[in-house]
Homo-oligomer: A and B are copies of this chain.
Amino acid sequence: MSAATGRTKRRGDALSKERIVEMAIAILDTNGEDALTFRALAERLATGSGAIYWHVADKDELLAAATDAVITRAMGNGVRDAKPLLGIRAIALAVFDAFDAHPWVGGQMGRRPWGPAMLQIYEGIGGRLLALGAPKRALFDAWSVLVNYILGVGGQNAANARLLSHEIDRTKFLANVAAEWARLDLAKYPFVHQIATQLREHDDREQFLAGVDLILAGIGTLRQAKARRKRSIERGL
């Protein structure tokens, strides 16, 4: 989107892994996952399809590199917040927004859970939990929940976005789903029935952030002993 770098035919500079990856990202963003083929990539780079294999092992590596690039870039922006809690929220939103801007990324996470992009997220969340002074035993649990939630929701949400992009009208589609849900048997689906209306007006991003806050609140309860916690859950609800 940002740079109109040498579109169809011209060859500004030599081929490089970086150029290939950038072009791949552009194709993925603009035309979706199915549009990323070695042939399309080669044409846009004004080269032969085989040339790409000199710089990239295969499609798997290409996708992984594209994902790494997107996440690294997202983590670079304003995620250096000093306050731990705000930093965690900032990371969560950075990941969410990256997934939103590049809907194909969601499906790629987890493909290389030990890549450099993942490491940044792991440390970004974990380091701040450390700074918060989270109890040692609970630290791993808390970290795991946060990371899994952030990556997981991002993925689900991106999948939804991908789906809805095919629909002409997002609100119309959601209205249809809500209407269908409202028609369900009230006795069998009391809950779905009830939230059918809220579905239409809810904001995914706000929803996501509310989830992060809820988990942070849960982490706050972790210092209590296990037995006490269990009772407090029952009481709390």
The 8 Å CB contact of A113, one of B134, B163, B213, is: B163
Q: How far, in whole Å, are A217 and B138 apart by their CA atoms in the complex?
A: 13
Kindly state whether residue A234 has any CB partner on chain B within 8 Å.
yes
Count copies of this chain in the complex: 2
Task: List the B side residues contacting A215 at CB < 8 Å.
Answer: 145, 214-215, 218
Closest Cβ of chain B: how far from A194's Cβ, in Å? 8
Task: List the B side residues contacting A110 at CB < 8 Å.
Answer: 155-156, 159-160
**Nearest B-chain residue to A188, judged by Cβ:** B123
Q: Which of A144, A195, A237 has its CB near the most chain B CB atoms (within 10 A)?
A: A237
Q: How far, in whole Å, are A229 and B218 apart by their CA atoms in the complex?
A: 11
Q: How far, in whole Å, are A237 and B217 apart by their CA atoms in the complex?
A: 9
Q: Is the CB of B233 within 8 A of A220?
A: yes
The 8 Å CB contact of A233, one of B144, B210, B216, B223, is: B216
Q: Which of A153, A177, A217, A233 has its CB near the most chain B CB atoms (within 10 A)?
A: A217
Kindly state whether residue A143 has any CB partner on chain B within 8 Å.
yes
Kindly state whether residue A17 has any CB partner on chain B within 8 Å.
no
Kindly state whether residue A130 has any CB partner on chain B within 8 Å.
yes
Task: List the B side residues contacting A134 at CB < 8 Å.
Answer: 237
Q: How far, in whole Å, are A138 and B233 apart by their CA atoms in the complex?
A: 15
Q: How far, in whole Å, are A208 and B153 apart by their CA atoms in the complex?
A: 15
Question: Told that A85-B234, A140-B198, A221-B221 touch, could you supply 13 new A-B pairs with CB distance under 8 A?
Answer: A111-B159, A126-B195, A133-B237, A143-B195, A144-B207, A148-B153, A149-B149, A152-B156, A155-B155, A214-B221, A217-B229, A219-B236, A220-B237
Query: Can you report 24 residue pairs joining A to B where beta carbons are below 8 Å apart?
Result: A113-B160, A114-B177, A119-B189, A122-B192, A127-B190, A133-B237, A140-B195, A141-B214, A143-B191, A144-B211, A145-B211, A148-B153, A151-B152, A152-B153, A152-B155, A213-B233, A214-B215, A214-B219, A214-B222, A215-B215, A218-B219, A220-B232, A220-B233, A220-B235
